[in-house]
Amino acid sequence: MNGRFIVSVIVICAALAGAAMFYLQIYGFYVDVSERDNRVVLTSVVTGAPEEIPVSSLSAIDADSSPIRYRACFQTDQSIGMLTESFELHPKAEPRVAPGWFECFEAEQIGNDLANGNAVAFWGQRNIEYGIDRVVAIYADGRGYVWHEVNDCGDKLYDGSPKDPNCPERD
């Protein structure tokens, strides 16, 4: 009888811990930042600095628990032709999966469309946080998506490798 009780307690605790971990990963730390972070910037070909582009219908989420949890969806009236002439293209953008409840952001579809040329990826802002870049993908119809990616400096920081001399100083 004692063994069954102990096993039952362990199983119940494990199930509760699993449910809590699932909740915290999918829902717990995310907040709507559409009001706070209501601009979209792309890196200018001319100046190398981020420049704001006009957007509407911005919906964004983020979490303080990780620098790569930022996701946003928006609309823009800017043409792809003008954007590709004015702003730096991102050669290897790979969108990160968003929580299922953030329905406007479908990472797999965006990734396929980038690979097929149906969307164009731009540098949003390099080192928005040390080792993290903001990437923006835009479709010809004006739909746009934003996410964060770990850059080479971030890879070195998180895997413990020596810092590359080309990396900026960390704040």
**Which residues, other chains included, contact 162 with Cβ-Cβ below 8 Å and sequence gap of 6+?**
156
25 band by pLDDT with thresholds 50, 70 and 90: confident
Alpha helices, DSSP H, located in 91-150: 107-116
Note the pLDDT tens digit of each residue in 102-157: 999 999 999 999 999 999 999 999 989 888 999 999 999 999 999 999 988 888 77
Give 38-90 as a DSSP string: --EEEEBTTT-SEEEE--EEEEEEE-TT-TT--EEEEE----HHHHHHHBPBP
Q: What is the chain's Cα-based Rg? A: 20
Region of 118 (left: φ > 0; alpha: ψ -120 to 50; beta: rest) is: alpha
Furthest C-alpha separation in the chain: 76
What pTM was estimated for this model as a whole?
Answer: 0.85
